[in-house]
Amino acid sequence: MKKLGILLITLLLLFTGFAMAAPSYCNRVEAGSYIDMTVANVVTTSETRFIVPDADDKVELNYGITVTDLEGLSSIGEAAAYMEVVIHEGRNSSAILGDMFEEIRYTDSTSIFGSLMFFNKNMHYESA
């Protein structure tokens, strides 16, 4: 009888876990730049799409930085750019079986220091 009770509880937990409809998820994407210069000609661009009409549409982040000379004078100092992506995917929304199924992390950073005639970094993220 004890084995039958454990089997019924196990089946009930499995059925409850598989009956949940939507998996839980959370994505965070961050991009930016840093400059510390005495002479600088810097342009940054940022473009996002995170409000979409349909769940099949993808969210997107584009970020870029360009450092060039200023009327023939080198840009002097430090420039850096980065993108950090953290993706959490859930298998189901049951607290008993656990929400998080996997975590994916991606980090990209580039920095340069000195007398700069040209530095360019463009980054792109698009959800799957």
Domain boundaries, the chain: 22-126
Read off φ and ψ for residue 25, nearest 5 degrees.
-155, 160
Higher pLDDT, 38 or 95: 38
Both structure tokens of 102: 């996997």
Please give the model's pTM, rounded to 2 decimal places: 0.71
Coil, helix or strand at residue 98: coil
Contact 83, 31 (CB under 8 A): yes
Identify which of 33, 39, 34 has the alpha carbon closest to the alpha carbon of residue 115: 39
User: Which secondary-structure segment (H or E) carries 13?
Assistant: helix 2-19
Identify which of 26, 2, 20, 1 has the alpha carbon closest to the alpha carbon of residue 95: 20
pLDDT at res. 98: 55
Q: Is the pLDDT of residue 71 over 80?
A: yes
